[in-house]
A and B are shown apart, each in its own frame.
Chain A
Amino acid sequence: MKIEYWLNGRKEQAEIDAGLMLLDFLRDHGCYSVKCGCETTACGLCTVWLNEKPVLSCAVLAARIDGQHVTTLEGLQDEAKEFAQYMASEGSDQCGYCNPGFVMNVLSMVRELSDTPTEAEIKEYLAGNLCRCTGYVSHMRVLRRYLAAKGKEVQDA
């Protein structure tokens, strides 16, 4: 079947099998930031944006993006680079495996949450991103600094 879609702002079209998953489709189209972790919707590694909302590309049929906008880390390089510098400065990048999905969800969270998110709200928003290094404490350190730089102060209540 034929689909037309926007990938990182560029209009494209492709011929696909009906059962192809978005994760595999994106990797076939050069978006290697999108990785397969659990393939059971549990880990968040394959996070991309579908119409500006973070979704798990391992659970979306490629057919579903017909007429829709898909954004991967490749399309958010400047923002991702900025956040990655904060991660590196705190050593929270660790093994790096979860980073692409984590960064995609963080960048979405920054857009969606209020200017004064609580730590609980942040943890809840990022609960779908598993870190096999268990680097959650350092993630929170990074987020506090990054959000402060974005004018969002994390509330402890």
Chain B
Amino acid sequence: MNIAQYVKAKSLEEAWELNQKKTAVVFGGGCWLRLSPQRRIQTAIDLSGLGLDTMTETDTAIHLGAMVTLRQLETAPALLTATDGAIKEALRHIVGVQFRNLATVGGSIFGRFGFSDVLTLFLTLEAEVELHRGGRMPLAEFAKQGGGNDILTQIIIPKKKRRTAYTSLRLNATDFPILACSVVRTADTLLCAVGARPARAEVRAFEGTRGLTEADATAVATEVAASMNFEDNTRGSAAYRRDMAVELCRRLLLQTGKEEA
């Protein structure tokens, strides 16, 4: 890679200061930047020395440091329990264990990638992000506006009584998803997110009593798909993605409804 200067930040403030220049880049796991070898980076900012690679749990939330790896997420008992195992289902298809030992949750979220399984799931978990200077904000808001030159420090997953289900559609194992769907059902709310359309994931909210029957699950899924834009790319057409989004959402709606019963 073409990097002029590599700085292992000693503080978040130092990282933030360095990141105010356009030619600076923050390194999470580095997996995505690796695919742009021609890009010239004046300053690579390494956050690995800032203690952001830990998960903590309180009575009300699970706090994920931005440098926590995807592998840490998928093997964390607290997250497996909090998501009915959906965290594992969302992550286990991402390349391989070696990749997931590198890729970080911060990199996945801050990049707001269209293909992101993590973003799709976390939107339905009503996650919040914390930026060094920008403070806390809902992930749904962050997903729309981005983080600019700020530094993402942690992602917060509120603890709630919820049922969670996740699925994705891939042309090949370990490849990018061509569609990613997540559904969370609480007592009073139903959240349904669709990503990899191939646009960035979006979430829709309904009353918690919706989508419990075959007919209403189809109605909700159709409404979700109709409210989002789908596009063509080499992996799938917009029409195919839209049709499959209805079917995958319908299945997840029924799955979360059944588990609740």
Which residues of A line the B interface, CB within 8 A? 1, 17-19, 21, 40-42, 44, 47, 50, 53-56, 58-61, 63-64, 66, 105, 108-109, 124-129
Contact = CB atoms under 8 A, between A and B. Distances in A.
Contact of A21 (B1, B96, B173): B1
A61 B1 contact: yes
Give the 5 A-B residue pairs with the shortest CB-CB distance, closest first: A128-B96, A19-B3, A18-B6, A19-B1, A18-B3
A41 B31 contact: yes
A55 B101 CA distance: 6
A19 B25 CA distance: 13
B46 interface: yes
26 contacts: A18-B44, A21-B34, A41-B34, A42-B95, A44-B98, A53-B71, A53-B101, A54-B98, A55-B98, A55-B102, A56-B102, A58-B34, A59-B34, A61-B1, A61-B27, A61-B30, A61-B44, A63-B8, A63-B44, A105-B97, A105-B98, A108-B97, A109-B97, A126-B97, A128-B99, A129-B96
A63 B174 contact: no
Contact of A54 (B1, B4, B5, B101): B101
A56 B98 CA distance: 6
Q: How large is the interface on B (under 10, 10 to 19, 20 to 34, 35 or more residues)?
A: 20 to 34
A127 B102 contact: no
Contacts, number: 81
B88 to A, nearest CB: 9
Contacts of A61: 1, 3, 6, 27, 30, 44
Interface of B: 1-6, 8, 27, 29-31, 34-35, 41, 44, 46, 48, 71, 92, 95-99, 101-102, 173-174
A125 B97 contact: yes
B220 to A, nearest CB: 31
Contacts of B96: 44, 105, 126-129
Given A47-B98, A55-B98, A18 B31 contact: no
Contact of B30 (A18, A54, A64, A66): A64
Given A40-B35, A41-B34, A47-B98, A63 B46 contact: yes
A127 B174 contact: yes
Contact of A127 (B27, B101, B173): B173
Given A19-B1, A53-B71, A54-B97, A59 B92 contact: no
